[in-house]
Amino acid sequence: MTPFGSAVRFVLFVNGLLLLVLATAMVVPMLVDLGMANADWWAFAGSAGVCSFIGAALALSCRGLSDRLNARAGYLLTVSAWVLVSLFGSLPLYFSSLGLTFTDAYFETMSALTTTGSTVLSGLDDMAPGLLLWRSLMQWIGGVGIVVMAMMLLPMLRVGGMQLFRTESSDISGKPVARVVHMAALTVMVYVGLSVLCAIGYDLAGMGSFDAINHAMATIATGGYSTKDASMGYFNSVPIEIVGIVFMAAGALPLIFYAHLFTKGSRAFFQERQVVVFLGVLTGAVLLMTAWNVDANHMPLWHALRVSAFNVTSVLTDTGFATTDFGAWGSFATGLFFMLMIIGGCAGSTAGGIKIFRWQILWGGLVRQLRQMVRPNQILLTRYAGHAVDDQTILGVRNFFFIYMMTLLVLSVAVMATGPDFLSAITLVAQGMANAGPGLGTLGGPSGNFEALSDPTKWVLIGAMLLGRLELMTVYVLFIAEYWRD
């Protein structure tokens, strides 16, 4: 078998295992609906059976392969996993009593697994508990999958400057599976721990246990699916909002950072520069939005601080929860939220967007170039977290910015061709690529959902969600002829 053939078989093997995990996860909402005497339990049972059969067939037919992963297989694995798992994950929604079309079921599932949080569903307050739990569970599964990919695959694949995070624990090229499993296990332990703490926090703050579990999974995954049509605004509770702010921010920090914090103490905080910058941006944006709401929207200071803190945190972390229609706060708020949406959280977190570290690298490269113009004979370095950044990494980040903006523009034009106005189109695509949830225009804003969009628009946004979640280059490399040649 050719090397590329072996890579494809390895990808099929892993996808088979992922489908088996997905089938196991479907049992949980099935039991919930069965216990509540809800007829949708059979949709989960049948879907789990299909996933189990196909997953087992793939895993068994491709087992016994090498325990090493190369870059070529990594690209295909990353893309195929999200496409395939989204396809099979949509089956319970498609076969349920909701009566969704395949487009809507796939849109909802892709939004969940990419932790975007855009939804085509309404009537959540009265929806069957199993379906609500499935949406939250898919976001939670997608969130941990994203972190594992970001910390172990993307550094090896050198995607958009992610090689900065290539360490002994993340460099899995030619290394035994045991080391990868150890790193993944540590990440999952932190992720589960944060989820449990968040659920306890919501429960103590006054949410019911079922709502607390669902919102905790969506919060740590920075996904934003709620069990209520009014999102977090339904609860109208300061303690609940404080818990949400704390854990949305926690989900936007690198999960491995918590392990370092436990072993190194406060030194880990100052060594992780993107964490310091992220928290600085968050604080500054909250204060700025509070001042705007006091001055322009004539809100009392306490109320302005409350709504600004929660909704700014939700937008910057690309979570997608909302307590009010912040789209009505005026043009300045819309512009600031658009910027925050694209900035995003930290690398190695569940948050979307361009990521803080890339802005740091781009800024450092710009400053170096300006200084070089003044002193052309002086050797200057760009530094990140105390280490010199090579020109290849800076070039990778610049290329990422270029392809990100070009993709945003091209997909926005594609959406406009299906009917929406310019502001709605560009914010719909921006929220999709940033995996942020609600848009900022008249369609898909914080006070509505995506149900009214046409099928062509939804498929463009499905592509935007996938591209943004997988860091663009990982997808685009599959479209060059050289990739498919041995």
Nearest in space to 472 (alpha carbons), one of 394, 402, 393? 402
pLDDT computed for residue 175 by the predictor: 43
Compute the average pLDDT of residues 424-439.
88
Q: Which residue has the tokens 């395949």?
A: 102
Residues that constitute the known binding site: 115-116, 223, 319, 435
Confidence of residue 235 (pLDDT cuts 50, 70, 90): very high
- Whether the predicted pLDDT of 6 surpasses 60: yes
Candidate from 22-36, 135-149, 153-167, 184-198 with smallest mean pLDDT: 153-167
Q: Given this model, what pLDDT does residue 168 score?
A: 36
% of the chain residues with pLDDT over 90: 55
pTM of the model: 0.91
Q: What percent of the chain has pLDDT over 70?
A: 88
Q: Using DSSP, state whether 224 is helix, strand or coil.
A: coil
User: What is the spatial distance between Cα 239 and Cα 306, in angstroms, rounded to a whole number?
Assistant: 11
pLDDT of residue 176: 42
Higher pLDDT, 182 or 89: 89
pLDDT of 348 reads: 82
Specify the pLDDT at position 22.
94
Task: Examine the pLDDT at 229 and tell me if it is beyond 70.
Answer: yes
Closest CA to 333 of 302, 303, 308: 308
pLDDT band at 159 (very low <50, low <70, confident <90, very high): low
Give the DSSP letter of residue 297: S
Q: What is the mean pLDDT of residues 287-312?
A: 96
Sequence spans of domains, the chain: 389-484
Q: Which residue has the higher pLDDT, 4 or 360?
A: 360
Please state, in angstroms and as integers, the Cα–Cα distance from residue 289 to each residue in 182, 279, 303, 332, following that order.
42, 15, 12, 9
Annotated binding site for K(+): 115-116, 223, 319, 435
- CA 157 → CA 14, 359, 454, 474, distances in Å? 18, 20, 36, 8
Gap between the Cα atoms of 210 and 132, Å rounded: 10
- What average pLDDT does the structure give for the chain? 87
pLDDT 10s digits, 15-63: 999 999 999 999 999 999 999 988 999 999 999 999 999 999 998 988 7
Supply the pLDDT for residue 380.
Answer: 77
| Cα distance between residue 387 and residue 396, in whole Å | 17
Which residue in 477, 469, 471, 483 sits closest to 86, CA to CA? 469
Q: Which residue has the higher pLDDT, 288 or 152?
A: 288
Terminal Cα-to-Cα distance of the chain (whole angstroms):
11
- Contact between residue 320 and residue 118 where contact means Cβ atoms under 8 Å apart: yes
CA distance to 112, 393, 396, 414, 433, per residue, from 466 (Å): 11, 24, 20, 16, 7
pLDDT the model gives residue 177: 45
Picking from 84, 85, 88, 95, the residue whose alpha carbon sits closest to that of residue 33 is 95
Residue 367 has pLDDT above 90, yes or no: no
Backbone dihedral angles phi then psi of residue 178, each to the nearest 5 degrees? -55, -40
How far is the C-alpha of 40 from the C-alpha of 186, rounded, in Å?
Answer: 35
Encoding tokens for residue 39? 């007829």
Would you say residue 166 has pLDDT above 80? no
Model confidence band, residue 409 (pLDDT cutoffs 50, 70, 90): very high
More confident: 252 or 177: 252
